[in-house]
Each structure stands twice: as structure tokens, then as C-alpha cells.
Amino acid sequence: MYYHGTGAAMEQVTALLARAGPIGSSSSAPTSSSSSSSPPTSSSSAPAIAGTSAASSNVSAPGPGTSSSGTVAVPTCKPSSQDALRWERRLQKELMAFVTDPPPGLSIDADATSQNLQDWTVDLRGADGTLYEGENFQLNFKFNSKYPFDAPQVMFVGNHIPVHPHIYSNGHICLSILTEDWSPAHSVQSVCLSIMSMLSSCKDKKRPVDNSLYVKTCNKNPKKTKWWYHDDTV
Amino acid sequence: MGDATREAEPRVDGKDAQVNQDVLIMEQQRQIEEEISDAIPLVGAKEDLLGTLEKEYISDPIYSMKAKDLSSKYNSIRRTRPDGNCFFRAFAYAYFERLLTCKDDYKGFYDIVSKSKDDLIELGFPQFTLEDFYETFMEVVERIGSGDMTQDELYELFNNQGQSNYIVVYLRLITSGKLQRDADFYLNFIDGNRTMTAFCHQEVEPMFKESDHIHIIALSAALNVGVRVRYMDRGDSAQVIAHDFPEGATPAVHLLYRPGHYDILYEQ
């Protein structure tokens, strides 16, 4: 069974936290600071964020005179303009491959997607001979400029969310390749296929056991949940 | 320490606090990563070895002694960012840098890597994404071979996050391919009852996952590039012990290992 949760994963970071000192403030503040940087360009798309709020709390401010534009001292490691094109180019290629040779059961509105490459909605049809036969779902992908090094944010949207032991009623999916096992060798297509196969191998249509608690308390962004994976069977 | 009192608050409601903890932890993790990336370049400049390490370990007799030992064999050190990719990045940088001057090694290396894509596709890697990384990787390799790359350009390229990470990813895929192809052998080195494919999906292919011996053995064997790792730790030997991968190979790349991290070394 999959749970979202803080168990093992939390232990791993305890040491990190201890080293870094106490967490500044509690419930309200961090939520607001993180929601300000949520979709579509989550965490740190460096150029945009460099001068703004939370991000400027770096340890080694390069030197007095150079406050905002100031990573000059250190060889620049921020995404360059070339990198900016890189994620776009990759997503364009993915879109083209998806449209010219759509995987069975999947489809996408190419025109709408090419208008905004950072936000894809894929239509997904339950495979024949499975518990989801004939059902139609929508998967939403959001990409930031660090894609494919950063995983996309993936969830079911719309008014029909599959009933499945690893899919919460708010559309969040507990699947390790979407967070800690994400690799840049994955793609929209391979994620869709993993989710399809997760649906197809389901033998008992039901919600996760902790569904109501999780849905009530989770962050809007499933990537902000520390998922705890321990089941490969479904 | 006005924060101490505020920090205690959310613990009152267990459930709610737990979810907030997720967000807090991730936010803090992100901040730590950002601090590291602001402070340490992906690949640093060459530094004088003894000067650098002696300063670093001025109040640490064991490490000072080892720094001295190391400096009898090596001149300089080049640091890499401790982001979990340090082995792959250090390896690639050190070897590419060598290829800039050592043309004899180039042909053999080129032949191996130019074949690697088909090998990986045969093993079931998704062609589409693989090609993307392969092409970027080969672009760099070919520039080196054609003489169209200076030291400075290589340095710049490796500090360009996009390009640098593309190279890291491709080396991770090559490593994964080798581990899966020779799974019978490498399975002896992994704990638990994971399959080799699962191990690769979890510990090799994702970015930022740290490398262990098994990664080093597989990559050095796959590319036929000898790696000598110098281990600097709290052990009581006065010497900095060397391990060569694959065993018996002539080292083309020298790395310094300090618990959890790899940097590049330059011989005298």
C-alpha cells in the first residue's frame, strides 16, 4: 500500500535540518512563501527570482556593491539563455513525437499545448479489458524551466478522477517516478504509460486508505508532499 | 532566538503539523541547495593542492598529515559542486580535459561512446530521450576531437548548468546500461533484494543521487577509462590510500574522495 507521509523520508532530512538550524517560522509563513513560487515555474527559475523575496537569502552575497545581479564572483551556474531554449526545445520535440505517434489510449490538443508548452493536458482512456475500460480521464502536466532535470508536476484534473489505491480524490498520484525516482530519461510519454499501467494492473477499485485526511491537509502541489513509496505491485 | 517559541507552535495539532512539515522540509532543503549552488560552482578553478588543503585542515592533525602525503603526489585540486552528481561531473571534466591534450586516447573513447546509443536502445532505454542526451554529449566529444575546444571553453561549458547536466545524465545512462548488461556480476555488490533494473531506476538514473563504488566500477569499465580514487578519511594510516577502477587499469583520471564527495586531482 502507498501512503503519503513523513516517516522514512523525514528521518533522512532530519540530519540536514539539524545542521541548518531551526526552521524559521511555522505553519503560515512557509506555505505562503512556497505558494508564491508554485506553478508553473516552481522552485527556482533563477533569472526571474534572483532579485525577489525569499531567494535572496543566500549565504555568500558576492560583495557589497553587487546586490541583485550579483553572481559575478562565482562562475555563473545559473541557467543561461541557451538553457532557456533547451527545455522548450525538448518539450517541443516531445509534443511533436506525441502528436505524430500517439501512444494507445492517449491524446492531446496539439494547438492548445503549443501555445503554452509549460502546461499540458493529456486525455487518457482506460484500456480495454481493465477496470477502467471506457472511462475518460485528464492528466495535467506542469513544467518549469529546469525540465527535464526537475520532474514535471503531474496530476489528474477535471471532474472524473480514477478511483485507484494510489490516486487521491484531488487528483494527486503516488508514483515514485514523479518525485524521487524521476530521471531526465523519462518523458511525458513514459510517465503517461506508467500511469496507464498502474491503472491497468489495478484489481480493486478503491481510494487510498488515508484519502480524506490527505486531501484535506495536503499542499495543492503534489510535488510538495514527501511521498513514501513501498509497494510495487499495483 | 525569538524563533524558538514560534517553532514550537505547530506541534499542537499532530496531523496538521505533519503536512506542514513536508512543505517546511522541502522549502528548507531547497534553500540549502540554493546556498550550495550560489557558493560553489559546478566545476571550480584549479587550486594549489597543499595550500588549499592545509588551510582547510589547519586544526586537524590527521587530515593535515594526509594533505601532506597527497601533496607529494599531486600538485593541484579542482573542486566540484557537492550536488550528488560530483563523481560523474568530476569524471567527465577530468577526462575531457585530458582528451584536449592526449589525442592518443581519443579514438578509442570516441568509438566506444559513439556505439553506446545503440547499445542502450537495445537494452530498452527510451530512444526519444536517450537521443537528446546522446547528441549533446557527442557534440562536446566531437568538438574536443576536432580541436575546436580550449581549456577555457571546456570550463565554461561545464559551468553551464544545462550542458553540464546533459553530460552527467548521459554518463548516468551509460552506467545504468553497463550495470544492467552485466547484472549477474554487479548484483553481488548491491544490498537488499532489488533487481538491477530497480537499482538503476532508483540509484543511478535519477540526477543528484550519489555514486558508490558500483557506479565507478561500471562507468570506468563501460568507457574503458581508468580511474584512481584517493581516499581521504579519518583512518589512521598516514597515507591517502588509492583504489584503481577497474582493478589494474592505468589511471587516466584521478579523483580525491572525502566522505560524501569527489574532487579532481592533478598529478605532479
Strands B251-258 and B226-231: parallel
| Chain A residues within an 8 Å CB radius of B124 | none
pLDDT at position B98, please? 97
Number of domains in chain A: 1
Report the C-alpha gap between B42 and B155 in whole angstroms: 10
pLDDT at position B33, please? 83
Is B86 one of the catalytic residues?
Answer: yes
User: Poorest-confidence range of B16-30, B42-56, B103-117?
Assistant: B16-30
> What element of type H or E holds B1?
none
B46-83 pLDDT tens trace? 999 988 998 999 999 999 999 999 999 999 999 999 99
| Residue of chain A minimizing CA distance to B204 | A183
Report the residue from B3, B31, B202 with minimal CB separation from A22: B3
The C-alpha angle A95, A97, A99, rounded to 5 degrees, equals 70
Q: Among B29, B158, B27, which residue's Cα sits nearest to residue A77?
A: B158
Alpha-carbon distance A32 to nearest alpha carbon in chain B (angstroms): 10
pLDDT at position B214, please? 96
pLDDT at position A61, please? 36
Asked whether residue A140 is domain-assigned, the answer is yes
* Contact by Cβ (8 Å): B170, A128: no
Alpha-carbon distance A17 to nearest alpha carbon in chain B (angstroms): 8
Catalytic residues of A: 174
A81-138 pLDDT tens trace? 555 578 898 999 999 999 998 899 999 999 999 999 999 999 999 999 999 999 999 9
Q: Three-state SS across A11-55?
A: HHHHHHHHHHCCCCCCCHHHHHHHHHCCCCCCCCCHHHHCCCCHH
Q: Which domain holds residue A200?
A: 82-225
User: Poorest-confidence range of A23-27, A172-176, B39-43, B258-262?
Assistant: A23-27
How far does Cα B4 stand from its chain's mean position? 38
- Which residue has cell 572525502? B258
> What element of type H or E holds A185?
none
The conformational region for residue A158 under phi > 0 = left, psi -120 to 50 = alpha, else beta, is left
The reply to whether A226 touches chain B by the CB within 8 Å rule is yes
pLDDT at position A152, please? 97
Asked whether residue A156 is domain-assigned, the answer is yes
Is B102 one of the catalytic residues?
Answer: no
Long-range pairs of A71-77 with CB within 8 A, sequence gap ≥ 24: A71/B38, A74/B38, A74/B39, A74/B40, A74/B41, A75/B41, A75/B44, A75/B45, A75/B155, A75/B156, A75/B159, A76/B159, A77/B37, A77/B41, A77/B42, A77/B81, A77/B159, A77/B160, A77/B161
Instruction: Indicate whether B109 pLDDT > 80.
Output: yes
Q: Among B198, B125, B170, B206, which residue's Cα sits nearest to residue A190?
A: B125
User: Poorest-confidence range of A63-67, B161-165, B219-223?
Assistant: A63-67
pLDDT at position A5, please? 41
> What element of type H or E holds B78?
strand B74-80
Instruction: Indicate whether B20 pLDDT > 50.
Output: yes
Report the C-alpha gap between A38 and A31 in whole angstroms: 10
Residue B9 pLDDT grade (very low, low, confident, very high; cuts 50, 70, 90)? very low
- Which residue has cell 551556474? A77
Alpha-carbon distance A216 to nearest alpha carbon in chain B (angstroms): 9
**B35/A218 Cβ within 8 A:** no
**B161/A79 Cβ within 8 A:** yes
Report the residue from A30, A79, A148 with minimal CB separation from B24: A30
Mean pLDDT of B4-13: 36
Asked whether residue A139 is domain-assigned, the answer is yes
pLDDT at position A177, please? 94
Report the C-alpha gap between A35 and A30 in whole angstroms: 8
Report the C-alpha gap between B206 and B168 in whole angstroms: 10
Q: Which domains does chain B have, with CATH numbers?
A: 47-79+227-267 (3.30.200.60), 82-225 (1.20.1300.20)
The C-alpha angle A139, A143, A145, rounded to 5 degrees, equals 175
The reply to whether A23 touches chain B by the CB within 8 Å rule is yes
- Which residue has cell 559546478? B42
Mean pLDDT of B225-230: 97
Mean pLDDT of B138-156: 96
The reply to whether A15 touches chain B by the CB within 8 Å rule is no
Report the C-alpha gap between B263 and B71 in whole angstroms: 15
Report the C-alpha gap between B160 and B267 in whole angstroms: 26
Asked whether residue A49 is domain-assigned, the answer is no
pLDDT more than 70, % of chain A: 62
Alpha-carbon distance A79 to nearest alpha carbon in chain B (angstroms): 6
The reply to whether A53 touches chain B by the CB within 8 Å rule is no
Q: State the Rg of chain A over Cα.
A: 20
pLDDT at position A132, please? 97
A23-74 pLDDT tens trace? 433 333 333 333 333 333 333 333 333 333 333 333 333 333 333 443 334 4
Q: Among B225, B256, B263, which residue's Cα sits nearest to residue B241?
A: B256
Report the C-alpha gap between A37 and A42 in whole angstroms: 5
Asked whether residue A185 is domain-assigned, the answer is yes
Asked whether residue A13 is domain-assigned, the answer is no
User: Poorest-confidence range of A81-90, A192-201, B153-162, B168-177?
Assistant: A81-90
Report the residue from B24, B30, B155 with minimal CB separation from A43: B30
Residue A230 or residue B267, greater confidence: B267
| Residue of chain A minimizing CA distance to B134 | A185
Instruction: Indicate whether B10 pLDDT > 80.
Output: no
Long-range pairs of A151-154 with CB within 8 A, sequence gap ≥ 24: A151/A177, A151/A178, A151/A179, A151/A182, A151/A186, A151/A223, A152/A178, A152/A188, A152/A191, A153/A39, A153/A42, A153/A221, A153/A222, A153/A223, A154/A178, A154/A191, A154/A195, A154/A222
Mean pLDDT of B144-171: 95
| Chain A residues within an 8 Å CB radius of B34 | 44, 55, 58
Tell whether pTM > 0.80: no
The number of CA neighbours under 13 Å toward the Cβ of B223 is 30
Chains A & B: contacts with CB separation below 8 Å: 158
| Residue of chain B minimizing CA distance to A16 | B29
Cβ count near A15 (within 10 Å): 9
B-facing residues of A in 155-184 (CB < 8 A) are 176-177, 180-184
**A31/B20 Cβ within 8 A:** yes
CATH of the domain at A123: 3.10.110.10
> What element of type H or E holds A228?
strand A227-228
- Which residues fall within 8 angstroms of residue B212, CB to CB, at 6 or more apart? B203
| Chain B residues within an 8 Å CB radius of A183 | 169, 172, 201, 205-207
Instruction: Indicate whether A197 pLDDT > 50.
Output: yes
Report the residue from A57, A148, A213 with minimal CB separation from B15: A213
- Which residue has cell 487528483? A171
Which of A41, A49, A71, A74 should we substitute to test contact with B (largest number of B Cβ atoms within 10 Å)? A74
Asked whether residue A100 is domain-assigned, the answer is yes
Helix residue ranges, H only, B187-251: 196-199, 213-223
**B133/A185 Cβ within 8 A:** yes
The interface predicted TM-score of the complex, written ipTM, equals 0.79
Instruction: Indicate whether B157 pLDDT > 70.
Output: yes
B-facing residues of A in 93-122 (CB < 8 A) are 93-94, 97
**B18/A6 Cβ within 8 A:** yes
| N- to C-terminal Cα separation, chain A | 9
The conformational region for residue B14 under phi > 0 = left, psi -120 to 50 = alpha, else beta, is alpha
> In what order do the strands lie in the sheet containing A153-157?
A106-108, A119-125, A136-142, A153-157
pLDDT more than 70, % of chain B: 93
pLDDT at position B19, please? 53
| Chain A residues within an 8 Å CB radius of B192 | none
Residue A9 pLDDT grade (very low, low, confident, very high; cuts 50, 70, 90)? very low
Residue B192 pLDDT grade (very low, low, confident, very high; cuts 50, 70, 90)? confident
Report the residue from B17, B31, B207 with minimal CB separation from A184: B207
The reply to whether A68 touches chain B by the CB within 8 Å rule is no
